[in-house]
Structure 1
Amino acid sequence: MVALSAYVGNDASDLAAFSHWLGRPVDHVLFYLNDWNWAAFDSSVPWAADLWKGSGADVIWSVPLVVQGASLEQAAAGAFDGHYKLAANALAQSADSSGPIYVRVGWEFNGDWMPWSAKGHEDAFIGAFRDLVQTFRGVSDRFKFVWDVNIGGSVIDPATAYPGDAYVDVVGTDFYYNLQWDSPDGHAAFQSKVNGPYGLQWQQDFAAAHHKATAVSEWGVQSDNAEGYIQDAARWFNDHGMVFQNYWETNAANFNGQFHAGQNPHSGAAFKAAFGPAGSSGGGPASAPGASLDPDAAGVGRLYWAILGRDADQGGQTAFTSAVKHGASPSDVAATMLNSQEFHQQHGSMASSAFVDLLYQGALGRSADGSGLHFWQGLLDSGVSRASVAVGIAQSADAQQHLASQIHTAWTLL
């Protein structure tokens, strides 16, 4: 399953509000370091690192290659390594989980609106990208680097500014649905994102040629008639095993994509259906390229550990995985486990705090920390179901990493 991320701006309370509206927590939150000048860049790092502490979401960091007025040639020569290293240290130390830390480097470089636009500076962009990656890797091997292309509006062939396979972990892309230039037919509009210049199909073809994973770093809709578009997007994300997809859950930057405050309710309902507890398009990262595990089977396996504290028996594993493949949601599976005789005999009636701690022990191998307990118990107190919370914890990046050795490759059900 594809990890769900959101960009909500600079207020952590908006992330909680979005999770409450959606009925499940997000796996990641997207954030941007400041590119005004190097002083602003440096000061934004500790502030941003502290902002998301205890949110329960791993941060996807958008890190500028240069600030306004600086050049890619300077960056390629190592002039800004001190700023890069300061950021790398702070971001590594601030990570709440032990999973990968995604860094989106010099995003939308193939347009002409960013200070790091590669047009006419392709070699310098490549050199700067490599320099930043090497600096970050000198701090931690947990960093994973996203090379991020904008769909449409490209002023260069993005491939001419590819840093090389040794420096890229994920091929990302950004796209938006805006009726100013897109078809009012959501299905047709999405197909234009697939087949257009440097679109979603180009992304898949390029990534496959370089044996890289894919992700959507930004996407959003600005229409209340986007049901078909959202359905097609969810299907595309799942069918192509993307590592994460990040929704623009804000009205910032002249794009009104926010759902949780009641804007565009019909499209919001479609988003909930696709990515909320009843959907099957969120709730944990996809398996790495080339992995032998079926993602639905692995998700069921993690729920066994989180809720029942044990490996799945073959009969239950097969039955639950088949149910998911025929339309059941992960929350349906979790609810069945929670209502089972086995669970009630072991645990009986549990307080919310004890329930969260049980899930932490089963999925993460540790007790719930204070911030995590506060976050998940807050969701339960606001009406989010225990099944949804179980899915959120069991399918998190941290749980996937912790349970990797317990999830059997024999569970591949193709």
Structure 2
Amino acid sequence: MGAYLHYDTPGVERMKELSRWLGGTELRAGHTYLPGDTWSNIEGAPAFLYSWARWRKERADRLFVLNVPMLARNEADVPDGKVAELLRSGAQGEYDHHFQRLAERLVVLGVPDTVIVLGWEMNGFNYTHRCRPDPENWKRYWRRIVAAMRSVEGQRFLFDFAPNRGSDAIAWTKCYPGDDVVDIVGMDTYDQPPGHTFDDQVTQPYGLQKQVDFAKAHGKPISYPEWGLFRNGDNPEYMRGMLAWIAEHKPLYHSITDYCPHGVWQCGQNPHSAQVFREFLSTEQGGDRPPGFDREDHRSRPRD
């Protein structure tokens, strides 16, 4: 179990407070993002990695989960033609050195077993590292990145392939780069269309059931790096459905996006969903939401 609470050092500190709110339930998955604005940031230059590495090394049963962009200017509305050009360059090895540097930094920090959520939501419309403009070169590029990172001595990275739920801009199966370069089949899933009910989200094309079946067919564990509320407001029925799904299918890890409008602890506008979340996951009924967290904060996740 984990939660995305803030990309920087406050995210580490807030994990302890969320655990207290859950009556002592431990968050064993720590989740953050590398900024996708510049190559130097994608190489792991941000100082906040030190805090996450310290947290990971405090206990052997913890996971450090790191979302890694595949291209710089990742949220800069880059047109499809330029994206296709960048993917071709990546597939030819032009950017290998950036990912080798990231791998070296993670090994030096003492987190060689980091879960790398590489090129997340690649089946969507927005990120520069999206797949649709050139799926074949996207897959080649993924393979080059994995090879570059695995070439670093001492690494034990796990690579998580995590599309959006649903078909979105392209069926995510068309972007799957191969069993030898994927360790986990993840999915980012929020309470939004397509899928007006949780059952719809399970059965829709390329939805939750497809993820489970695909992962089983390929011999991979599943994960939910991002999940939470979104278009339908405070929705305790969705929360019950998602938590029951997680309990049934036992992902390697799951990480709720805990800021408004998605979250429960740092977002006071979802009290009924927060109650369900707490009932499912707390070890006891106790603890209070820290002062100042009942507010919308869209600045928690790094943006370009």
Specify the TM-score bucket, using the shorter chain as the normaliser. Answer: 0.7 to 0.9
Cα 1:154/1:132, change in 2 over 3 Å: same
TM-score (norm 1): 0.59
Q: Size of the alignment, in residue pairs?
A: 266
Residues 219-250 of structure 1, C-alpha deviations (whole Å, 9 max, x = no match): 01246643322222122112222111111012
Offset at residue 114 of structure 1 (A): 0.8
Q: Is 1:66 equivalent to 2:71 in the alignment?
A: yes
Report matched runs for 1:313-324 at 5 Å. Answer: none
Q: Which amino acid aligns with 1:85?
A: Q
Partner of 2:279: 273
Q: Contact between 2:28 and 2:63, CA under 8 Å: does it hold in 1? A: yes
Q: Contact between 1:248 and 1:257, CA under 8 Å: does it hold in 2? A: yes
Q: Distance in 1 between matches of 2:88 and 2:163?
A: 20
**What RMSD in Å do the two structures reach over aligned CA positions?**
2.5
Offset at residue 38 of structure 1 (A): 1.2
Q: Is 1:47 equivalent to 2:47 in the alignment?
A: yes
Partner of 2:235: 226
Q: Is 1:105 equivalent to 2:141 in the alignment?
A: no
The correspondence for 1:239, drawn from 248, 267, 273, is 248
Q: Contact between 1:46 and 1:90, CA under 8 Å: does it hold in 2? A: no
Report matched runs for 1:10-409 at 5 Å. Answer: 10=8, 11=10, 12-23=12-23, 24-42=25-43, 44-55=44-55, 56=58, 58-68=63-73, 71-95=86-110, 100-139=113-152, 140-152=154-166, 154-178=168-192, 183=196, 189-222=197-230, 225-251=234-260, 255-260=261-266, 262-277=268-283
Cα 1:169/1:278, change in 2 over 3 Å: farther
Q: Contact between 1:65 and 1:72, CA under 8 Å: does it hold in 2? A: no
2:163 aligns to what SS in structure 1? strand
> What's the % identity of the aligned pairs?
27
Q: Contact between 1:146 and 1:170, CA under 8 Å: does it hold in 2? A: yes
Cα 1:134/1:95, change in 2 over 3 Å: same
Residues 251-309 of structure 1, C-alpha deviations (whole Å, 9 max, x = no match): 3xxx3424246442221111011122259xxxxxxxxxxxxxxxxxxxxxxxxxxxxxx
Q: Contact between 1:109 and 1:116, CA under 8 Å: does it hold in 2? A: yes
Q: Which amino acid aligns with 1:34?
A: P
2:170 aligns to what SS in structure 1? coil
Q: Which amino acid aligns with 2:13?
A: S
Higher RCO structure, 1 or 2 (CA under 8 Å, sep 6+): 2
Cα 1:261/1:240, change in 2 over 3 Å: closer
Q: Distance in 2 between matches of 1:181 and 1:165?
A: 28
Q: Contact between 2:107 and 2:155, CA under 8 Å: does it hold in 1? A: no
TM-score (norm 2): 0.79
Q: Contact between 1:105 and 1:145, CA under 8 Å: does it hold in 2? A: yes
Q: Distance in 2 between matches of 1:226 and 1:155?
A: 26
Q: Distance in 2 between matches of 1:181 and 1:145?
A: 27
Partner of 2:299: none
Q: Contact between 2:118 and 2:159, CA under 8 Å: does it hold in 1? A: yes
Q: Distance in 1 between matches of 2:209 and 2:262?
A: 26
Residues 137-181 of structure 1, C-alpha deviations (whole Å, 9 max, x = no match): 112441011111101361112122111110011100011114x87
Max Rg structure: 1
1:149 aligns to what SS in structure 2? coil
